[in-house]
Structure 1
Amino acid sequence: MGRDIAASEEESHEAARAACEVVELLESLWEQVRGDVSTAPVSVSQLRVLYALERAEGISLRILGEVVGATPPSVSRLCDRLQALGFIERETSPSSRRELQLWLTATGRRYLEDLRSRREAALSSTIGNMTPSARTALTQGLAAFQAAAGAAGPATQRPARRDRDSWSA
């Protein structure tokens, strides 16, 4: 049994190394198509806030800070900038007048949809070079990875995405 655990740990390490290599490849790909997949006018920190709000709209600044791992003043400044862009709105909580709830606006949703579309387009040619069985395996592996990451907590969970069948066709 100890041998099975050791083998399982080694497989996990191998998978983690492979995932790190994929992350490095994605970073290179983003760099090559920087103009097409740029997050401008939003910083990476602001993008994390948008993703968090997409998953849990109506959360407070305090909860948002816990989710993104930032202090309340930092989160407040990030939200100020996002509100100025028209991507989020703040409302007084019906349960406590001292607390604000945060919501994505239609503009914020369109921004995220557009960013995802541009990123998917950048990945499509590479994924298109894969065999159908490799695309299916990739889709299944990424779904399993996403489920495992989602089990780690709300900061890593993603909303349901549109159908990925076009990747495995």
Structure 2
Amino acid sequence: MGEGPVPSGPSRQRRSRDAAQVTAAVIELLEVLWEQGRDAASSHPVSASQLRVLYCLDREDGMNLRTLGEALGAAPSSVSRLCDRLQALGFIERSPSPVSRRELELHLTRRGGDYLRDLRQRREESLTATIAAMPPTARTALLEGLRGFRDATEGRAPGHRLAVQRDAEKPA
């Protein structure tokens, strides 16, 4: 897709602000879709904070509470309570660390993994239906824009890369 000259000054700021406002509106719509998927994925839907724990453990199984707390930016007591609730639901388990007797490792259980797979499948189905209703040129522009957004985000926060599967990217 060809690009024209890059605007500068107030015009560029206005376009960035307009894009940010549209993005915020889209995020609100995604949150509604996400909630619908989360509620339908289980008879025990988890909170957004608990879901972040599941995502972290899905990416890095076996992390300890300290590492999880750093990833979440949360206090140890809060992380422990989140894990208590998830363990009560059967979504995670704690086991002794083979490296240190003072540490526990956190693992996603089969039930927790099934919950995430079902949730992701429901969300993907919802997004696929919405995106399929878009004109092909809009789908292509969306893909290009989202890749640019991801790349800009990763460039600004190198220690907090988004969990995006690059090899799953395909042209619209």
Q: 1:126 aligns with which of 126, 130, 154?
A: 130
Q: Determine the structure 2 residue equivalent to 1:89.
A: 93
State the alpha-carbon separation in 2 of the partners of residues 107 and 21 from structure 1.
33
8 A Cα contact 2:38 2:119, kept in partner? no
Q: 1:58 aligns with which of 55, 62, 76?
A: 62
Shift in alpha-carbon separation, 1:77–1:32, aligned structure 2, 3 A: closer
Unaligned 5+ residue runs, structure 1?
none
Q: Quick one: higher RCO (CA 8 Å, sep 6+), 1 or 2?
A: 1
Q: How many residues align?
A: 165
Shift in alpha-carbon separation, 1:73–1:118, aligned structure 2, 3 A: same
Structure 1-normalised TM-score? Answer: 0.78
Structure 2-normalised TM-score? Answer: 0.77
8 A Cα contact 2:38 2:46, kept in partner? no
Q: Determine the structure 2 residue equivalent to 1:99.
A: 103
Shift in alpha-carbon separation, 1:21–1:68, aligned structure 2, 3 A: same
Q: Structure 1 residue 48 and structure 2 residue 52: aligned? A: yes
Unaligned 5+ residue runs, structure 2?
1-6
Identity across aligned pairs (percent)? 53
Shift in alpha-carbon separation, 1:124–1:136, aligned structure 2, 3 A: same
Shift in alpha-carbon separation, 1:84–1:142, aligned structure 2, 3 A: same
Q: Secondary structure at the match of 1:89?
A: strand
Q: Considering only aligned residues, what root-mean-square deviation do their CA atoms show, in Å?
A: 3.0
Shift in alpha-carbon separation, 1:31–1:99, aligned structure 2, 3 A: closer
Q: 1:163 aligns with which of 148, 151, 168?
A: 168
